[in-house]
Amino acid sequence: MEECTKCGKPFKVSEHNLIMPGTKEKEPINCPYCNHTVDKRTSNGWWDTSKLSDKEIEEYLKKKKGE
């Protein structure tokens, strides 16, 4: 899970690898809510982001607060 540095909403991040040795480049991780580039990480493929369900957001917030 990541949290957007612009809108503050949490979201899922997953990496999709391609089998292409020697092509690792920094790929953007964009918030699925506001499209802000939160980070750039090295990958052989790309990063996919998705919004959380209401239940996932609730669980994330509980963990963040330490409940």
Whole-model pTM? 0.81
Domain edges within the chain: 2-65
Render pLDDT for 3-35 as a digit per residue (tens, 0 to 9). 999 999 999 999 988 776 666 788 999 999 999
pLDDT-derived band at 57, boundaries 50, 70, 90: very high
Question: Of 45, 50, 16, 44, whose CA–CA distance to 31 is shortest?
Answer: 50
Tell which phi-psi region holds residue 60, choosing left (phi > 0), alpha (psi between -120 and 50) or beta: alpha
Per-residue pLDDT, 56: 95
Contacts 24+ apart (CB under 8 A), 24-30: 29/2
Render pLDDT for 1-11 as a digit per residue (tens, 0 to 9). 899 999 999 99
